[in-house]
Amino acid sequence: MDILRLDNTEWMHLFWFLAIMVVLFVMALRWKKRALQSYGDFPVFRKTAGSLSFARPRVKFFLFFVAMLFLVVAIVNPQIGSKLREAERKGVDLMIAVDVSRSMDATDIRPSRLERSRQAIARLIDELTGDRIGIIVFAGKAYTQLPITTDYAAAKMYLSTLSSDMVPAQGTSIGSAISLAMESFSDNNHSKSIIVITDGENHDEDAVEQARIAAEKGITVHTIGMGLPEGAPIPVMQNGRRTGFKKDKDGNTVMTRLNEKLLTEVASEGKGTYVRANNAQAGLKTIFDEINRMEKQKFESKVYADYEDRFQYFLAVAIVLLMIEVLLVNRKSRFAGKINLFSKEEST
């Protein structure tokens, strides 16, 4: 089965230009109509306008708009992947479990714990060459955001959607995240590792136990602590803007603090490494070095080897439409002026 991809996605913003062009044209038509009405009755004016055509400017604009639409599509350059082949890769399987609870909006590390987590994972993805990666998000419950894959572009796309609003059940269930990550791995002989990125404010008691179970299965569990031990207030967010800070029932501001003791225990039982992120660097290099020391297993992956450009078809249509638009004049032809489809013979 062929697959479609867009070669120059950075030009997608040109579609907004087309939308603005339509809005401006509609506004111009309304302004023109009001201007003509100021000279008298508009239907009477149309009858006395002679060869001036009111429909053709609309037709010309429609042709021009469709031509521009096809031209933008040609610039973006749709491509069809036509040849599927087996590619041999060599790497490890990684599941990254990201805490998206409300406490991750705290700003004790800038710009926020969650944003710093996104940046750290993006840098990790940039370093991967043959490894497979998956993403799990968790708060009170854990959910698979991206099944394990070699598609790093998809991983970055899903990474950009992470927010503290995506998991309705609040809390920090690290144990359930580790358990789901273990279930997400395929049954193979690949080296496997779980990276838990969280502030460690755990609301269950089995995080250490789940890490121990993972180690028994040969799965390494690393932890990255997001935040500072002295803590920070939890922002209350609305439409992406901070409106205040979370308070308890007595009206006191709730503080969220990094739980390094728990994260150290989880990494220890998981035969992995704990690092604390800070404003200078997110600690991924230490863990990435550990991953690089793991045994890399060979596996096969299906990839599209050849992509064929399809821009030329859209470009050809755009050129034809532009030629028609240029040749179409705004005035009625002498033949068209003799035709009145709406006239009625007067009765005698």
Mind listing the pLDDT tens digit for each residue in 32-54?
777 766 665 555 555 555 555 56
User: What are the DSSP E strand ranges found in the chain?
Assistant: 3-6, 78-91, 93-99, 132-138, 142-149, 192-198, 219-225, 232-233, 235-238, 241-245, 255-256, 274-276, 297-309
CATH of residue 295? 3.40.50.410
* Residues 217, 296 within the same domain: yes
Whether residues 165 and 238 share a domain: the answer is: yes
Give mean pLDDT, residues 306-320: 86
**Co-location of 49 and 153 in the same domain:** no
**pLDDT score for 75:** 92
The secondary structure of the chain in percent helix, strand, coil, rounded to multiples of 5, reads 40, 25, 35
Q: Is the dihedral of CA 183, 187, 188, 189 positive or negative?
A: positive
Residues 263 and 149 in one domain: yes
pLDDT confidence band for 341 (50 / 70 / 90): very low
Is 239 among the domain residues? yes
Supply the pLDDT for residue 342.
42
Q: Sorting pLDDT into bands at 50, 70 and 90, what band is 332?
A: low
Predicted pLDDT of residue 6: 79
Domain around 191: 86-301
Question: Quick one: which of 67, 110, 97 has its CA closest to 328?
Answer: 67
Of 289 and 279, the structure prediction assigns the larger pLDDT to: 289
Residue 122 has pLDDT above 50, yes or no: yes
Does a structural domain hold residue 347? no
Is the confidence at residue 337, as pLDDT, over 70?
no
Instruction: Tell whether 346 is covered by a domain.
Output: no
Question: What share of the chain has pLDDT > 70, as a percent?
Answer: 78
Q: Which of 24-38, 46-60, 260-274, 298-312 has the highest mean pLDDT?
A: 260-274
User: Kind and range of the H or E element at 124?
Assistant: helix 113-127
Beta bridge partners of 211: none
Query: Which CB contacts under 8 angstroms, 24+ apart, belong to 28-33?
Result: 29/58
pLDDT, tens digit, 9 for 90 and up, residues 193-219: 999 999 988 766 789 999 999 999 999
- 172 located within any domain: yes
Share of the chain above pLDDT 90, in %: 38
pLDDT for 314 beyond 50: yes
Whether 314 and 297 share a structural domain: no
Q: Do residues 30 and 104 both lie within one domain? A: no
Largest Cα–Cα separation, the chain: 105
What token pair was written down for 21?
Answer: 């062009």
Q: What is the pLDDT of residue 347?
A: 43
Whether 100 and 208 share a structural domain: yes
Q: Do 58 and 172 belong to one domain?
A: no
Per the domain annotation, does 224 fall within a domain? yes
Lowest mean pLDDT among 85-89, 92-96, 253-257: 85-89
Mean pLDDT score of the chain, rounded to an integer?
81
Q: Domain check: are 260 and 147 in the same one?
A: yes
Q: What is the pLDDT of residue 298?
A: 53
Domains in the chain: how many in total? 2
In a domain, residue 343? The reply is no
Taking residues 335-345, what's their average pLDDT? 46
When pLDDT is averaged across residues 26-34 and rounded to a whole number, the result is 84
Asked, as a colleague might, if the bond just before 111 is cis with ω within 30 of 0, I would say yes
Phi first, then psi, for residue 21 (nearest 5°) are: -60, -40
Q: Residues 14, 72: contact at Cβ < 8 Å?
A: yes
In this structure, are 197 and 318 located in the same domain? no
Global pTM? 0.61
For residues 320-336, average pLDDT: 71
Weakest-pLDDT range from 81-85, 118-122, 287-291: 81-85
Q: Looking at the domain assignment, is residue 345 inside a domain?
A: no
For residue 13, how far is the Cα from the chain centroid?
15
Q: Out of 10-19, 67-76, 333-342, pick the least confident.
A: 333-342
So what's the pLDDT on residue 336? 44
344 lies in a domain?
A: no
- 243 in the same domain as 128: yes
339: number of Cβ within 10 Å: 9
What mean pLDDT is predicted for residues 61-87? 82
39 and 113 housed in the same domain:
no
DSSP letter at 253?
Answer: B
- For residues 278 and 196, what is the distance between their CA atoms, to the nearest angstrom? 16
